[in-house]
């Protein structure tokens, strides 16, 4: 087995009496889509926030590509290639598609403090940005303001921005949320291709998508991972059936 890209060990986080993350350990292996499922309130979002550096865990260690990243802030982790998408689409609304992705390119290369050269004439920004826009399936929409994009297009824009970070791992927080049936199918194909770029830690409620995409699944209940395994193993795990999948599976 190859070394994990992202490795989480003994992560704990409490908010007062509530233990949101209870001794979670998790590996994201090269080339895999690792789905994280669990009922509402299981602590999935809290876990994601600790991985990206938005909140600090009380205990535990996160290793990313062999480097302990516990002390790095969210911006520094992003620059290492930890690319994140949000549960609710989050883009710069007043920017065009191109400007949004250019921003991500600038953030990734770390050269933000350049004051006089017009960004739109900076081919070190525009060329990679156009490439990623094409890759995410938004070619021809470069000049459109993000605020007028459809929901699905905004999801694609987020993926283009994630690609611009030269990602080493994706953290996708419910990418299917709010997508129609057709949109979800399209996105499933895109995510499946994304696996070739970098492994994906996928938080998702859409079980069809999870079962179609995931190589491995971890089930989070009350802040604890109760099972990790392949799709078949998780489907047949009695504990998981009881606590989460219920009659659905």
Partner 1 sequence: MTRDMIINLCVFAILVATAVGAHLGGQGFTVTLATKAAILGLAGVGLNLALGYGGLVSFGHAAFFGIGGYVTGIFAFHASSGEPILTLPFALMGSNEMLGIWPMAMLAAGLVALLIGALSLRTTGVYFIMVTLAFAQMIFYFAISWPRYGGEDGLSFYVRNTFPGVNTLVPINYFAICAALLALALIFTALVTQSRFGLALQATRQNEQRSTAVGIRATPVRLTAFVLSAMITALAGSLYADLNRFVSPAMFSWHMSGEIMVFVILGGVGRLCGPLAGAAVFILLEHLLGPITEHWQALLGLMLLAIVLFAPGGLIGLITLGLDRIRGGKADV
d(CA 3, CA 164): 24
Residue number with CB closer to partner 1 (96 or 237): 96
Question: Is 114 among the residues that bind partner 1 (CB under 8 A)?
Answer: yes
Question: Is 111 among the residues that bind partner 1 (CB under 8 A)?
Answer: yes
Residue number with CB closer to partner 1 (77 or 216): 77
Residue number with CB closer to partner 1 (133 or 234): 133
Considering only 6, 48, 62, 106, the residue that binds partner 1 (CB under 8 A) is 106
Identify any residues that bridge with 83 across adjacent strands, giving them in sequence order.
170
Question: Could you tell me whether strands 6-15 and 18-28 are parallel, antiparallel, or unpaired per DSSP bridges?
Answer: antiparallel
Q: How far apart are the first and last CA of the chain?
A: 30
**How many chain residues bind partner 1 (CB under 8 A)?**
40
Cα 113 vs. chain centroid, distance in angstroms? Answer: 27
Burial of 115 (0-12, 13-18, 19+ CB in 10 A): exposed
Question: Is 232 among the residues that bind partner 1 (CB under 8 A)?
Answer: no
**Strand, helix or coil for residue 117:** coil
Query: In the complex, what is the shortest distance from the CB of residue 51 to partner 1, in angstroms, rounded to a whole number?
Result: 12
**Strand, helix or coil for residue 51:** helix
Considering only 122, 183, 215, 224, the residue that binds partner 1 (CB under 8 A) is 122
d(CA 141, CA 118): 21
Which residues of the shown chain bind partner 1 in the complex (CB under 8 A)? 52, 54, 73-76, 78-79, 83-84, 86, 90-95, 99, 102-104, 106-108, 110-120, 122, 125, 161, 164-165
């Amino acid at each position: 087995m190859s070394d994990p890209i992202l490795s989480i060990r003994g992560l704990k986080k409490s908010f007062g009496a509530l233990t949101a993350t209870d001794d979670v350990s998790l590996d994201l292996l090269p080339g895999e889509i690792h789905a994280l499922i669990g009922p509402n309130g299981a602590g999935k979002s809290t876990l994601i926030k600790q991985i990206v550096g938005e909140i600090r865990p009380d205990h535990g260690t996160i290793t990313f590509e062999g480097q302990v990243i516990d002390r790095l802030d969210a911006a520094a982790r992003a620059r290492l290639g930890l690319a994140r998408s949000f549960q609710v689409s989050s883009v710069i609304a007043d920017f065009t598609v191109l400007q949004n992705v250019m921003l991500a390119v600038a953030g990734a290369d770390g050269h933000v403090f350049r004051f006089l050269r017009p960004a739109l004439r900076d081919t070190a920004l525009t060329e990679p940005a156009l490439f990623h826009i094409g890759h995410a399936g938004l070619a021809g929409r470069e000049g459109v303001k993000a605020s007028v994009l459809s929901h699905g297009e905004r999801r694609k824009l987020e993926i283009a921005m994630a690609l611009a970070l030269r990602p080493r791992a994706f953290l996708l927080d419910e990418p299917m949320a709010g997508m129609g049936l057709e949109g979800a199918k399209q996105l499933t194909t895109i995510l499946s291709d994304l696996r070739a770029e970098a492994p994906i830690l996928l938080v998702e409620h859409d079980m069809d998508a999870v079962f179609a995409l995931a190589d491995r699944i971890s089930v989070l209940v009350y802040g604890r991972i109760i099972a990790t395994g392949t799709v078949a193993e998780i489907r047949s795990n009695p504990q998981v059936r009881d606590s989460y999948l219920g009659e659905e599976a």
